[in-house]
Amino acid sequence: MIMRKFLLLLVLCGLIKVSSWAQGAYAPYNRDYYHALERYEILKGEMNPIFHTGFKPFRRDKIANYLESYLIDSASGIFQGSKADQFNFYYLKNDNWEFAKSETEGSNRPFLGKLYRKPSDFFHYRDETFDIHINPVLYLSGGREQGEDAFRFRNSRGLELRGTIDRKIGFYTYLTTTQTIFPSWIRDYIEQNGAVPGEGFWKDYESEGYGYFSAMGHLSFNVSKNIEAQFGHDRNFVGEGYRSMILSDFSNPYVFFKLNTKIWKFNLTNLWSQMTADVIYNGRRPTDGRYPQKWFSHHRLGINIGKNLNIGVFESVMANQFDWNYLNPVIFYRWIEHQLGTPDKVMLGFDGKWNFTPGMQLYGQFALDEFVFSEFFGIDGKNSSRNKHAIQAGYKYINAFKVSNLDLQLEYNQARPYTYQEKFENQAYTNYRTPLTHPRGANFREAIAILRYQPIPRLTVNATGFYQLFGTDPSDEVNFGGDLLKNRLVTNTGLGLFGHEIGQGVENKVLMGTLNLSYMLKHNLFVDLSQSYRRRTAQNLNAPDVDNFTQLSLRMNIVRQEFNY
């Protein structure tokens, strides 16, 4: 049923003449890749005029246009920057070479005459009507965790394919199969939630491992000069932070239809999607029955104010049944909810970024779930269970302390108890039993520090550390507001309406640091060496739970896996 509805949307857009402007697939969201791109904007201290960065991922033709029309020096005709910056610039340009206006790098020695004629493509073919790029996907990693007998590893193999048809329709397909044994704290997270983050359906592999098949794909095209459309099965990310309190890439992919309208300094993004509701489990294994579905609608209006400030306001709704009213791209969802008399979950808020000086950026988010004026602003009611909101505040410093290619990022996140939860079935802010925003769900505070350093062009050093304070439930019958899969009305805490504070329940504290070194052997072929230290203390633990994990990886055309939660 949902496919018919989304296809109807696609057909309606298709009735409008598809424009002749060149099209591109979207570049998969990758924090390392996107940071290399976005740091140029912060260095200049001005907004990117080609596309707004508040809604990710970005389209490849837009990336190429930004690199060539905005970053190349008009006087010299070349890109100005450090050796590492120049390497990143040409890496990004070569990765999107089919949309580059100027000549891009070719391989000195193509393999068998037809393969790797471009550094970024195992195989490509282009003519006036058809363009295709095919690449293998590989992730081989192995590591040891202190105190654990089993060898930790990941073995992923697959294929990535992208291209255009008639230079008007872009397409992308990604397929991999994986067998893995996670570090112990990720295994515990999976056991608690009944789902592998980012992967959805899984099967047991050996004694404590998991196996899963991943598939993503989308079509993209222009409806008009200023309206872009995308239909696919993938993830989306809202904001400028390491985390997102509005919509993140943590859960598994979902089917969606997206419209992006850019006029002058305004950018309106509409997202309609079908997600998987709380899957019923028999022990640890998924059932064979049809999983329940729910419907997510989101729109964000962003505006560039001056040359260095962007503000976005958003509204989203999670409903347990499809309703045509939410397909209206230019209406307030809250008004629709009131008119329908429905209990659908509506959230609203804003996000923004301010490049207040070249090399520095402030960013943040505010998501409001429930609001009672007297309790929100009143002294006695400030700890009401109905004050449900999430906050993010962050700072980025490019070329920190005048050290070339040393970037610092500081971020603070928090979500009050019961934020993102819902009292009606299948309306919580989750997808396939994992949060749509922060991995912790709600009832937490978090401080993050990230140092990225590129001492030589091919080597990137990433040091990430965070501290978390969060509350968990002592039993399944109690709800202190952190587990998004629990019913908002069933608490059994004995606290009543007031007295709810972040960290309530069983208080947990986590301190974690990860150091990762990535060396690019060839285009999109990396060797990673990482060391992680994690220490958790909790009221129900007699001694701290300490983990040390060392890992070596070889990956090709795939995002680096992180275990920072």
pLDDT by residue, tens only, the chain of 565 residues: 544 554 455 444 554 454 555 678 999 999 999 999 999 999 999 998 899 999 999 999 999 999 988 888 766 667 888 899 999 999 999 999 999 888 777 766 777 678 999 999 999 999 989 999 999 999 999 999 998 888 999 999 999 999 999 989 999 999 999 999 999 999 999 988 888 999 978 888 988 899 999 999 999 999 999 999 999 999 999 999 999 999 999 999 999 999 999 999 999 999 999 999 876 554 444 556 678 899 999 999 999 999 999 999 999 999 888 877 778 787 776 667 666 667 767 899 999 999 999 999 999 999 999 877 777 776 666 788 889 999 999 999 999 999 999 999 999 999 999 999 988 888 899 999 999 999 999 999 999 999 999 999 999 999 999 999 999 999 989 999 999 999 888 888 888 888 899 999 999 999 999 999 999 999 999 999 999 999 999 998 999 999 999 999 999 999 999 999 9
According to DSSP, the residues that pair with 459 across neighbouring strands are: 456, 519
Residue 80's pLDDT is 81
Residue pair 277/294 in contact (Cβ under 8 Å)? The answer is yes
> Quick one: which of 32, 437, 92, 47 has its CA closest to 237?
437
For residue 426, give both structure tokens: 């299948």
Catalogue all structural domains in the chain, each as residue range(s) with its CATH number: 2-105+116-278+290-556 (2.40.160.130)
Q: Give the chain's end-to-end CA distance (angstroms, integer).
A: 36
d(CA 54, CA 44): 18
DSSP-derived 3-state class of residue 276? strand
H or E element: which one contains 448? strand 444-456
Phi, psi of 363 (to 5 degrees): -145, 165
Are 223 and 13 in contact by the 8 Å Cβ rule? The answer is yes
